[in-house]
Amino acid sequence: MNNKTKKYTNNFISQIINKDVNDNENLSLKTRFPPEPNGYLHIGHAKSICLNFELAQLYNGKCNLRFDDTNPLKENIKYISAIKNDINWLGYKWHNIHYSSEYFPKLYKYAKELIKKGLAYVDQLTKEQIREYRGTLKQPGINSPYRNRTIQENIKLFKKMKRGDFSEGEASLRAKIDMKSAFIVMRDPVIYRIIFSEHHQTKKKWCIYPMYDFAHCISDAIEGITHSLCTLEFQDNKSLYNWILKNTSVKKYPQQYEFSRLNLEFCILSKRKLSILIDKKLITGWNDPRIPTLSGLRRKGYTPSSIKNFCEKIGITKQDNLIEFSMLEHCIRKELNKTSIRTMAILEPIKIFLYNLDKNHEEKFTVPNHPNNPELGTHEIIFTNIIYIDRLDFKEKYNKKYKKLKLGGEIRLRYAYVIKAEKIEKDENNNIVKIICYCDLNTLGKKTKNNKNPSVIHWISVKNSFPAEFRLYDHLFNIKNPEKEKNFLSYINPKSLIIKNGFIEKNIEKNIEKNIEKNIGENFFQFERIGYFCIDNIDSKKDKLVFNRTVSLRDLWNLKK
């Protein structure tokens, strides 16, 4: 067992599995990940994916991918390929791929079995009436007037439902359990409804569709799932899960266990709400780097290992909590700190003229790609008489604490010389357009004459610059728990995306091009003093590259601990 999977042995679910395996040496663990293809996967799904796949690996078992596709109204084939792609990206291999819709014929047979046992009936109350009759937590439910139909009548009516002789909402099949049960789910739950909509897998074959609760447990049983892991909101449904398995002739008896779902600060993790954001054009799509979908996080520069580490770190419990966003950032920062190439980028350029240098002055410096990992190699930078620095590194008005460049002040250019600002030029709007400086050529790798050690700033020679757009992301919501708010849309952060237009080093651009050609897709950089960035493969153009800021340099999570 390697260290990676070790963490998954420490939770209450693996303890249950341990005991089961010890009690029954023939037990072969089988889990499944059952997404509904009604949206893209998000980091919450990753928690469940990691748990199911890692446990299967750990116990030499198997994990299936099952599309829980019982509602043709909400599902779409495009989500199926996106989901498969994301699971592959995380590096997991499913044993088999299944669809709940494969089991429609079997599910229909089991539904008839319930009717024949007097345990299901065709109801003709409307959806609203069913809800009304169901009662509340304080009030028991009331029996439907159709509850005591004969078995023959129910069989006939269920066939009629299947044939399409009823209209939508006119009839449904309900399990006959107990309208007074303390669990509302047990108050004669609907198990089949009529939907006249083409299904992405079964096309027009069916107009009756099983409900989640009916389909899920039977699908688990058909596939021989031993441990069916789901989130806490299904705790009450467990009684129904077990009731259906007990009262049908399925051969296997899976056990359901619940763990708490992931809630992440500043994030929405509901596919329904995420699609509202997309429909209202508040974000650009399922892969917008501001949302915690796996495709959004990938585009933002998160790696599979950073996401898996995060999922290990948060652990598996029954405790409902809100995880700090800085913890997710900590996981990617830790990794990028080791792997990303250091280079300089200017987000808000301002030109510096070094008046004492010749127009043709050109020096080359070889600089390391990483401060402590020589294996990452070096790259060359060029020094000439006109360079860009960041507007934020020069101030006309400043206080005592100010340490960067000012008129009459000195600063060191990273890997190069100390310069002194002597004059500024402004445009008609009073914006500084040019800073004229003296370059002290005696300061390469040495202190200045007066033995001072000025602060260091980054820079790029105009000749060595390539245009780039920088996308700086902040949280999409300005409150910690937007998921809790009914009107979550009113908490959108208007500054969730800030775009800057500047420059990167030209030779880095050449590298990126090579990588893209060789299909080494990932290009991760630490732009010195600014943060970790990755190239946006979707919006980058040949003459202008786009970079997404993955995460800033400061590790708030580490600071707190």
Q: How far is the CB of 264 from ligand ATP (least distance, A)?
A: 8
The 221-260 site mask, x for binding ligand ATP (CB under 6 A), equals ---------xx-----------------------------
Cross-strand bridge partners of residue 527: 343, 531
Choice from 34, 72, 189, 210 touching ligand ATP (CB under 6 A)? 34
CA–CA dist 172, 111 (Å, integer): 12
Query: Which two tokens mark 141?
Result: 């439910």
Q: Which stretch binds ligand ATP (CB under 6 A): 32-40, 56-64, 92-100, 448-456?
A: 32-40
E strands along 458-523, which residues? Answer: 459-461, 465-473, 497-505
Q: Are strands 120-123 and 97-99 parallel, antiparallel or unpaired?
A: unpaired
Q: Are 230 and 102 in contact (CB under 8 A)?
A: no
Q: Are 533 and 343 in contact (CB under 8 A)?
A: no
Query: Of these residues, 36, 265, 335, 363, which one is catalytic?
Result: 36
44 belongs to the binding site for ligand ATP (CB under 6 A):
yes
Query: Of these residues, 84, 106, 261, 351, which one is catalytic?
Result: 261
Residue number, 111 or 262, with CB nearest to ligand ATP = 262
CA–CA dist 128, 112 (Å, integer): 25
End-to-end CA distance of the chain: 29
- Helices 212-223 and 237-247 pack at an angle, to 10 degrees, of 60
Q: How far is the CB of 220 from Mg ion (least distance, A)?
A: 15
Query: Which two tokens mark 481?
Result: 């728990």
Residue number, 234 or 503, with CB nearest to Mg ion = 234
Query: Which two tokens mark 537?
Result: 């493969």
Choice from 45, 176, 193, 227 touching ligand ATP (CB under 6 A)? 45
- Helices 325-339 and 304-314 pack at an angle, to 10 degrees, of 140
Q: Which does 270 bind (CB under 5 to 8 A by kind): Mg ion, ligand ATP, none?
A: ligand ATP
CA-based angle 16:22:28, to the nearest 5? 80
Residue with tokens 């509602």: 71
Q: Give the number of residues in contact with ligand ATP, rule: CB under 6 A.
A: 16
Q: How far is the CB of 228 from Mg ion (least distance, A)?
A: 15
483 belongs to the binding site for ligand ATP (CB under 6 A):
no
36 belongs to the binding site for ligand ATP (CB under 6 A):
yes
Nearest to 500 by CA among 340, 395, 397, 390: 390
Q: Which stretch binds ligand ATP (CB under 6 A): 55-63, 124-132, 262-270, 462-470?
A: 262-270
Q: Which stretch binds ligand ATP (CB under 6 A): 40-48, 142-150, 344-352, 424-432?
A: 40-48
Residue number, 237 or 526, with CB nearest to ligand ATP = 237
Residue number, 170 or 320, with CB nearest to ligand ATP = 320
Residues from 50 through 79 that contact ligand ATP (CB under 6 A): 68
262 belongs to the binding site for ligand ATP (CB under 6 A):
yes
Residue number, 294 or 435, with CB nearest to Mg ion = 294
Query: Which two tokens mark 320?
Result: 């409902």
In the bound state, the residue with its beta carbon closest to ligand ATP is 44
Residue with tokens 């995306």: 497
Which 8-state DSSP code applies to residue 76? -
The Cα diameter of the chain in Å comes to 103
- The helix (H) or strand (E) run that includes residue 425 is strand 418-426
- Helices 151-163 and 104-116 pack at an angle, to 10 degrees, of 160
Q: How far is the CB of 181 from ligand ATP (least distance, A)?
A: 23
308 belongs to the binding site for ligand ATP (CB under 6 A):
no
CA–CA dist 507, 360 (Å, integer): 19
Q: Which does 90 bind (CB under 5 to 8 A by kind): ligand ATP, Mg ion, none?
A: none
Cross-strand bridge partners of residue 64: 32
Query: Of these residues, 271, 290, 308, 549, which one is catalytic?
Result: 271
174 belongs to the binding site for ligand ATP (CB under 6 A):
no
Residue number, 269 or 468, with CB nearest to ligand ATP = 269
Q: Which does 45 bind (CB under 5 to 8 A by kind): Mg ion, ligand ATP, none?
A: ligand ATP
Q: How far is the CB of 140 from ligand ATP (least distance, A)?
A: 29
Residue number, 171 or 316, with CB nearest to ligand ATP = 316
The amino acid at 518: K
Residue 469: active-site member: no
Residues from 14 through 43 that contact Mg ion (CB under 5 A): 36
Residue number, 49 or 157, with CB nearest to ligand ATP = 49
Residues in the chain: 561
- For every residue of 209-226, DSSP letters joined together read EE-HHHHHHHHHHHHT-S
Helix, strand or coil, per DSSP, at residue 300: helix
Q: How far is the CB of 82 from ligand ATP (least distance, A)?
A: 12
Residue number, 36 or 474, with CB nearest to Mg ion = 36
Q: Are 79 and 286 in contact (CB under 8 A)?
A: no
Residue number, 34 or 289, with CB nearest to ligand ATP = 34
270 belongs to the binding site for ligand ATP (CB under 6 A):
yes
Q: Are 207 and 193 in contact (CB under 8 A)?
A: no
Residue 261: active-site member: yes
Helix, strand or coil, per DSSP, at residue 184: helix
Query: Which two tokens mark 468?
Result: 């780039």
CA–CA dist 431, 394 (Å, integer): 12
Residue 36: active-site member: yes
Nearest to 195 by CA among 348, 71, 99: 71
Q: Which does 348 bind (CB under 5 to 8 A by kind): ligand ATP, Mg ion, none?
A: none
Q: Which does 47 bind (CB under 5 to 8 A by kind): ligand ATP, Mg ion, none?
A: ligand ATP
Q: How far is the CB of 436 from ligand ATP (least distance, A)?
A: 56
309 belongs to the binding site for ligand ATP (CB under 6 A):
no
Helix, strand or coil, per DSSP, at residue 368: strand
Q: Which stretch binds ligand ATP (CB under 6 A): 135-143, 261-269, 305-313, 346-354?
A: 261-269
Nearest to 119 by CA among 161, 163, 173: 173
Q: Which residues bind Mg ion (CB under 5 A)?
A: 36
Q: Which residues are catalytic?
A: 36, 261, 271
Q: Which residues bind ligand ATP (CB under 6 A)?
A: 34-36, 44-45, 47-48, 68, 230-231, 261-262, 269-272
